[in-house]
Structures are given as C-alpha cells and as structure tokens.
Chain A
Amino acid sequence: MLNNQPIRETDINSLKKLAQTLRKDVLKMVMASREGHLGAAFSCIEILTALYFNVLNIDPLQPDWEDRDRFIMSKGHGCFAQYAVLARRGFYPVELLESINQKDTLFGGHPDRDKVPGIDVSTGSLGHGLSIGAGMALADKRDGKASRVFVLLGDGECQEGSVWEAAMFAAGNGLDNLTVIVDANSLQAIGKTDDIIPMEPFSSKWKSFGWEVREIDGHDYSEILSAFNNTLSTPSVPTAIIARTVKGKGVSYMENEIMWHARAVTENEYKQAVLELNEGTSF
C-alpha cells in the first residue's frame, strides 16, 4: 500500500490510458459472449485500475500468496472489468479473455474463484461480499497480519440487509484493515436507485454505522488515489469510500442509460464505442 506517498501525474496519465484499454477489453468480451453487464463494468473501471495497479499488495505470479491484500468484487456482475484488469496486471495473458464465449472458459458471467487466478471470492448474488471481507479482515487482525481487505459494492446492492449486518460487525470489531468502495452509479437493474429505494443520504448512513467515510468522484484518479492513500487514518475504524460514478462511463450512448445494465452491443454500436474510447471523448 502506498499510504501517504505523493500521487504522480505520470501515474495518473498511464492509469487513464489503461482505463480506456480495459473498457475496450470489456467491450470485446461482451461482443464475443453476446451478453454481460457493460454499464456496471464501465462504472468501476477507474476504481479497479487504481486498486490493482497502485494499491493492492499482490503478486500475479503467486495469486494465492498468503499475505496478499484481498479484493472482493461483491457486485459480481461487474466482473468483466475485473477479468480485464487481472489480465492487464499479469495474472494471465490478455488473449485468454477471448475465450469468454467458448465452452469451458474460465470466465463466466459472474466470477468463480476456482477458475480465475486472482479472484479471491466467488460472487454473483448481491450482499455477500462485505461479510466475507469482514471475516477475512478479522482473520488478519487476529493473526496480527498487516494485509488489508477491499470490497467493492454497488449502490443498489446496499439495499440488501446483509450489507448492513456486515457494516455493523466491521465497525463493532474495529476492522480498520477493511475498506469498502461503493460504486454509486445511481442506476440499478431496472430503474434509478432514487426511484426504487433511495439510498441517500448515503454517506451519513455509513457514518452512522461507525465508518470513516470519504465521498469522491469515482472516475477522477487523483480523488480515487487520494482516498485510498488516506484509509487507515483512524485506528479501529473501517473506511467506506463512496465513489460517485456514471453507469456506462466512457461511451456516450451508454452513459446513465438503464438499458445498458445487461445488454449486448451490435456490430455498429461496438465500432462507435471503440472509436469513442480511442479518442477518449468522454474525458
């Protein structure tokens, strides 16, 4: 963990490029598999790249290294982004992503820890990841280990009661080695979060559950890295980073459009998306 280290402009520029590459990786996977959750993958790309390239203490050559930091993609439907970032981080060759539409591929619509190197927890059903992360953080604490646990939640996912059971547990047990990032893209499967079950005031909810809360622009690398650099600031208090994001971020016709929660792209849509990502028009 690069706690309190200055954030370099060169880091940010290379991360920005990487994010666009990852979005193209994800698009290719959705094209190949004819399904996938594009919107949810695109909203968390910057968060994942920052984590995997600047934050997590991991070793692609030893995915099961005992003292590694853990990352749990609790919003498992965003896993195409995680598949891509693991490939780009060196856990397996990028070309392997092309197998996504083939029989016996490692890459399903939700991540399986038995198949994909670097996946710590199998997810897909919402509301499970934070409890599991809290269990891991508890084990590390009790063993006196310095490793840390990061859990990515969706904002819609936070409608699951089990998230708040885990939130209470983590605060009650002083798990300052546990960090939650909420990919708050304000849209869920079939509507706007505000119209379904409003989650606001979101930050206050987490604060009142005993968490240290930071609210950031989830696509702005200086804010993301700064938030990660400032976790662990209060002893015995877990950190929640509320990352305000845009579902479908990076492709104009997908941004903030509910239909892109789980739709495949046509050939023409694919070409336009790649064009936009090559030009970086959304940034």
Chain B
Amino acid sequence: MRTAFCKTLYEIMSRDSRVYALTADIGFRNFDEIIAEFPDRFVNVGVAEANMMGIAAGLALSGKIPFTFTIAPFVTMRCLEQIRVDLCYQHLPVKIIGAGGGFVYGPQGTTHHAIEELGILRTLPGMTVLCPADPVETEKTVLGSMSLEGPSYIRIGRNNEPVVTDEKSPFKIGKADTLRKGEDVSMVTCGLSVHNCLAAADLLALEGIHASVINMHTIKPVDKETILRCAEETGCIVTVEEHNIIGGLGSAVAEVIAEEIHHSIPFKRIGLNDVYLRMHGSYDDLKQEFGLDIDGIATAVRTFVEEN
C-alpha cells in the first residue's frame, strides 16, 4: 500500500502543481521518483511531526495541497493538537497518510502500532477518516481525497498486501462496498481486516453460515444506509477491525445501530479488547494471538451467530 500511495501521489503531483509531499523522515526510497521529478515540492521536515502539520497548514493557507506521511501513530497522535487546531479548526485540505496502521509493524512493538487513531481522529470535526483495504483501493482513496475540501486521514498498511477489491469497481468516499452477500450475519470491516473477513466468510460458508462482508473503507462519514440495510438483510452485525474496540469502526457502527434502529439486534465488536499488544512477534503471530487472523475471526463470528 505504501508503494501504491507513492505511485499515486507521483501521478497526482504530475498533473497538479499545488500538490506537495511531506514526510517526517520515513519512506526510504519510496519517494525517489517524486524527489527526482519534483524536488521543489518534496519536503522532508525531519523527525518533527508537529512541525510537519504546521508546515502543511502554512502551505495549505498559501494555496497548496500537502500530503503528510509517516508511521501511523506518529502522524496522528504525536501531533494531534496541530491536526485539531491547524488543520481541522481552519478546515484545510491537508491529507494525512498513516503507514503501518493497526499493528502491521508487529515486531517493532507497541510504539509503532496505531490501534487508537481511527477513533481519536473520528472525533475531530471536519475530519474524514479513511481506511482502504489493499493497494488497489489505496490508489482510489488517495485520488478520492483530492476532492475533499477539509482534512483527511488515510490509514494504509506496508507493502505486498493481498488484493481484495476490484480495480474496476466504483469507489466513493462515504459509500461502503458489499464484497460478499450472505443472509446469516453481516461482517462490517475495514483495512487489512477485509481480507481476513473474506477468508473467514469462506470457512463459515463451509459450515453453513453465510456472511455478508462489507468493506467500510470510510470510517467517517460512516455509511448509515449500508449499515441499516445489513441490519435488515441479516438481522445481526459484527464489526472487525485492527483497532481498539473502543472508538473505531465498531463504535461508529454501534452509534448508527443505537440511534437508527428501533428494535434490538445482535451486535458484536471484534478487535483489540482495550489492550496494548505487549508481545513481540510477527504480524501474523500477533493477529493469531489477538484473534484477528482468519481462524480467530471465523471462531468469533461462529460463536456470535450460535449464541444469537
């Protein structure tokens, strides 16, 4: 997704001279093409995320469209108040790209994981929060962010993620994609969990549990219509995300269910249960340990369906 982001950014910069690429010293070789072709519009601000957001705000106030890039926890939480005051309060079209969202940086440890940022950024007025599922959707998301007047956050992974979306399928910010239809349960998910949910749905189908899989690539504004349709069609919903179950996609979906559906429906949030991972291991090891691998998700959904 990192490569897809940089390739897309290069294309955007080729046709729009207002676009700037900013990094806080992350992305070795990723920006080579941009640096070679647009040296005046590439800025490595150094290891200084707060300053990067201020610089981006200043550029935006002077008519530029900056993309700010570094590892997800640093580009969001280290400089949260700059995002709030400089970008959201002033409603500036700065795009924030968080690489390695969730715990993709597995063995690097908790400092390099972002399991809270979707929820935190979701509370900022005017902020759009996006979480594409794969490199193909990353490209569409980055392109789509150009039409936003205010600030946006795009959580991406690292590299070589499996492609689960269709190159030709339409993409619209705020409009979820139904990737699989089933009648027993709706799995609403985002980001890298989309792949695991699709695979989990395959496993469940063998057991006679038919799940819909919804790619909710836009966490904010969340697609109410699709959530309500899921509730109607399957009568129960689970959310799956590489995030604390507090604040992120699960909370966004829960808010819609609580406010818009006037009868009780079974609902469950699958994610990190308000814990830091505190364990070293590969990304796959961590997913398995915390129940976000294919088997873990399938087990949780199976239990949920059986109990309801």
Contacts and interface: CB of A to CB of B under 8 A. Distances in A.
Is chain B a partner of chain A in the same complex?
Answer: yes
Interface of A: 66, 113-114, 120-122, 124-125, 128, 130-140, 142-143, 161-162, 165-166, 168-169, 172-173
Contacts of A128: 54, 82, 85-86
Given A122-B90, A125-B85, A131-B57, A139 B62 contact: yes
Interface in B15-60: 40-41, 43, 45-46, 48, 50-51, 53-60
B62 A135 contact: yes
7 contacts: A113-B90, A128-B86, A131-B54, A133-B58, A138-B55, A138-B58, A172-B46
A131 B62 contact: no
A138 B20 CA distance: 11
A113 B48 CA distance: 26
Contacts of A162: 50-51, 54, 82
A121 B53 contact: no
Contacts of A137: 58
Given A132-B86, A135-B61, A140-B62, A169 B81 contact: no
A26 to B, nearest CB: 24
A135 B59 contact: yes
B82 A124 contact: no
Contacts of A161: 50
Contacts of A166: 51, 54-55
B85 A131 contact: no
Contact of B40 (A66, A113, A142, A165): A142
B52 to A, nearest CB: 8
B217 interface: no
The prevalent SS among residues of B at the interface is: helix
Interface of B: 40-41, 43, 45-46, 48, 50-51, 53-64, 81-82, 85-86, 89-90
A143 to B, nearest CB: 8
Contacts of B82: 128, 131, 162
Contact of A169 (B45, B62, B85, B89): B45
A215 to B, nearest CB: 25
A-B complex: 8 closest residue pairs judged by Cβ atoms: A135-B58, A131-B54, A139-B62, A165-B51, A135-B55, A165-B48, A132-B58, A136-B58
Nearest to B40: A142
Contacts of B60: 135
B46 A135 contact: no
B294 to A, nearest CB: 43
B59 A136 contact: yes
Contacts of A131: 50-51, 53-55, 57-58, 82, 86
A121 B61 contact: yes
A122 B54 contact: no
A173 B48 CA distance: 14
Contacts of B58: 131-139
Nearest to B51: A165
A113 B64 CA distance: 18
B243 to A, nearest CB: 27
Contact of A134 (B50, B54, B90): B54
Nearest to B79: A162
Contacts of A134: 51, 54-55, 58
A137 B41 CA distance: 14
Given A131-B54, A138-B43, A166-B51, A121 B90 contact: yes
Most buried by A among B51, B61, B82, B90: B51
Given A122-B85, A128-B86, A162-B82, A136 B61 contact: yes
A138 B86 contact: no
A165 B24 CA distance: 12
Nearest to B48: A165
Contacts of B61: 120-121, 132, 135-136
